[in-house]
Amino acid sequence: MKVEIVTRRNGQEAVIEFDYALRHETEKPMALDVLLQAQATAMPELAFRYGCRARNCGVCTIDINGKPRVACRAIARDGDRFSPMATLPALSDLVVRRDGIARQMRGRLATAGQGNDLNVDAPDDYHALTACIECYACLDKCPMHARNFDGGLPGDMAEGTAPDPAEGYRWGNPFSLLKLQRIRLDPLTSEAGKQAALDHAIDLGLDACVGCKGCKCGVGIDLMGKVVRDMVSAAGDRLESAAGD
Ligand code: SF4
Ligand code: SF4
Ligand code: FES
């Protein structure tokens, strides 16, 4: 089974064909299996991330044929093209910088007051949101996240103009809204904390969600139903003034 692997080193992109040797006739390898075999055989320097190999940690996400997929749970097919997630800056081969998202949320979570994942009094929606594995697949085609890159993707920006992930991205994304929504739904959060969480969502660009086609979660969380619509509705008229700022 042949796949194409897009490698990136020192700003140079290359596409390398790799022929995966099936371990048995009926094997349906995951994309991560293919990457592991490529690294163990023809491409010893191939860089990619993985952790749990069981769709728990979220770090193995790559683009497969241009769509973000959790590599340890995505069945590889003949002719697939594996590339780094287009929505985050590529570091080396399939590894991207994830810290711009995590740093964006630092401070915001603290001021709103973070709840407790074992919170038994929380509504079902709260528990549904704890299924997030932080894979960042939902950043795909998010116009709010694209604002960080002048409406495009990291790779579209002229050299030296892209925002520094170490600073945390200015504009949000479905994942950051999910984190804030969890705070809003947590019965342990004070009213002031819930308000602060909504304020942060508006500051991160919640107005971009108005009229947006919506976002899709890599593990099936109903982002529009359980996060975005509720926040947009709670923000109401405030979004118009945020969009006009
Ligand atoms: S609905 Fe909002 S968070 Fe989801 S993709 Fe659109 S702008 Fe991004
Ligand atoms: S909301 Fe879904 S797609 Fe987004 S980071 Fe969490 S698990 Fe991944
Ligand atoms: S390796 Fe952890 S989710 Fe894929």
pLDDT digits (tens, 9 = 90+) for 217-239: 999 999 999 999 999 999 999 99
2-96: which CATH topology? Ubiquitin-like (UB roll) (3.10.20)
CA of 141 to the centre of ligand 2 (A): 14
- Three-state DSSP class for residue 188: coil
Delimit the domains of the chain by residue range. 2-96, 99-244
Ligand 1 pocket, mutate which of 175, 202, 215 (most atoms under 8 A from CB): 215
pLDDT at 115 over 70: no
DSSP per-residue letters across 112-162: H----TT-TTS-HHHHHHTT-----GGGTT-HHHHGGGTTS-GGGSPTT-S
CB 218 less than 6 A from any atom of ligand 1: no
Closest C-alpha among 101, 98, 50 to residue 71? 50
For residues 57 and 133, the answer to whether their CB atoms sit within 8 Å is yes
Supply the pLDDT for residue 160. Answer: 86
CA 240 to CA 234: how far, in whole Å?
Answer: 13
Supply the pLDDT for residue 165. Answer: 93
Residue 224 per-residue DSSP state: I
Supply the pLDDT for residue 113. Answer: 63
For residues 169 and 101, the answer to whether their CB atoms sit within 8 Å is yes
Ligand nearest to the CA of 174: 1
